[in-house]
Amino acid sequence: MSQAAALTRRSRPLRTSAELSSVLATAYERIDRDQHRNCWIHVRPKEEALAEAEALARRSAQGELLPLLGVPFGAKDNIDVAGMPTSAACPSFAYVAERSAQCVERLVAAGAICLGKTNLDQFATGLSGARSPHGACPSAADDRYVAGGSSSGSAVAVAAGHVAFSLGTDTGGSGRVPAGFNGIIGIKPTVGLVSSRGLVPNCPTLDCPSIFCNSVTEGKLLLELIEGFDEADPYSREARGRSSAVPQEFRFGRISASQLNSFGLPECDALYEQACGRLVGLGGEALEIDFTPFAEAGEMLFSGPWIAERYAAISKLFDVHHGDLLEVTRKVLHSAAQFSAADAFAAQHRLLKLRRQVQLLFKQIDVLVVPTAPRPFTIADMLEDPVTLNTRLGHYSYSVNLLDLCAVALPNATLTSGMPMGVTLLAPAWHDHALLDFASRWQPDNDGAPFGLNVYSRGVG
pLDDT over threshold 90, residue 25: yes
How far, in Å, CA of 336 to CA of 350, rounded? 19
Mean per-residue pLDDT, 164-192 = 98
**What average pLDDT score do residues 292-298 get?**
97
Q: Please, which residues bridge with residue 413 across strands? A: 421
Active site residue 174: yes
Tell me whether strands 367-371 and 420-428 are parallel, antiparallel or unpaired.
antiparallel
Residue 10 has pLDDT above 60, yes or no: no
**Among residues 147, 149, 151, which one has the least CA distance to residue 166?**
151
- DSSP code of 225? H
The pairing of strands 250-255 and 284-289 is: parallel
At 274 the pLDDT is 98
Residue among 422, 139, 74 at smallest CA distance from 130: 139
Answer yes or no: pTM beyond 0.85: yes
- Using 50, 70 and 90 to split pLDDT, how confident is the model at 6? very low
**Per-residue pLDDT at 78:** 98
Is the distance from CB of 153 to CB of 41 less than 8 angstroms?
yes
Among the options 150, 151, 215, 399, which is catalytic?
A: 150
Q: What is the pLDDT of residues 136-145, one digit of tens each?
A: 999 999 999 9
pLDDT score for 9 = 40
Instruction: Give me the catalytic one of 11, 76, 154, 397.
Output: 76
Q: Give the Cα-Cα-Cα angle 370, 77, 70 (nearest 5 degrees).
A: 90
Q: Tell me the pLDDT tens digit for each residue of 189-236.
A: 999 999 999 999 999 999 999 999 999 999 999 999 999 999 999 999
Residue 442's identity, in one-letter code, is W
Contact 94, 85 (CB under 8 A): yes
Strands 165-170 and 208-213: antiparallel
pLDDT digit string, tens, across residues 341-385:
999 999 999 999 999 999 999 999 999 999 999 999 999 999 999
Span 104-127, mean pLDDT? 97
* Amino acid 244: pLDDT: 82
Query: Cα–Cα distance between 424 and 62 in angstroms, integer?
Result: 42
Strand, coil or helix: 432: helix
The total number of residues shown for the chain amounts to 461
| pLDDT, mean of residues 158-181 | 98
Q: Tell me the C-alpha distance between 72 and 162, whole Å.
A: 8
Range of weakest confidence among 35-49, 64-78, 191-205, 231-245: 231-245
Q: What is the DSSP letter of 146?
A: B
Q: Can 243 be counted among the known catalytic residues?
A: no
Residue 185 has pLDDT above 90, yes or no: yes
What angle, rounded to 10 degrees, do the helices at 216-226 and 432-442 form? 170
47-59 as b/e, with b when 16 or more CB fall inside 10 Å? eebbebbeebbee
pLDDT digits 0-9 by tens, 230-286: 999 999 999 887 678 999 999 999 999 999 999 999 999 999 999 999 999 999 999
String of b and e for 272-292 (b: at least 16 CB within 10 Å)?
beebbeebeeeebeeeebebe
Q: What confidence category does residue 448 fall into, taking pLDDT thresholds of 50, 70 and 90?
A: low
CB of 154 closer than 8 Å to CB of 74? yes
Q: How far apart are CA 380 and CA 282, in angstroms?
A: 39
Check pLDDT > 90 for residue 8: no
Confidence at 446, pLDDT banded by 50, 70, 90: low
* Burial annotation 359-387 (CB, 10 A radius, 16+ → b, else e): eebbeebbbbbbbbbbbbbbbeebbeebe
Respond yes or no: is residue 150 known to be catalytic. Answer: yes
The yes-or-no verdict on residue 461 having pLDDT over 60 is no
- Sequence-ordered alpha helix ranges (H) in 140-259: 152-159, 177-180, 216-226
Catalytic residue among 174, 196, 236, 243: 174
Task: Give the chain's domains with CATH numbers.
Answer: 3-242 (3.90.1300.10), 250-436 (3.90.1300.10)
pLDDT of the residue at 319? 86
Question: How would you write 195-210 as a 3-class SS string?
Answer: CCCCECCCCCCCCEEE
Provide the percentage of residues in the chain whose pLDDT is more than 70. Answer: 93
Question: Are the C-beta atoms of 151 and 168 separated by less than 8 Å?
Answer: yes
pLDDT of residue 14: 55
Reduced 3-state DSSP string for 367-404: EEEEECCCCCCEHHHHHHCHHHHHHHHCCCCCHHHHCC
Question: If pLDDT is split at 50, 70 and 90, which confidence band does 20 have?
Answer: very high
pLDDT surpassing 60 at residue 454: no
What is the mean predicted confidence (pLDDT) over 117-125? 97
Average pLDDT along the chain: 93
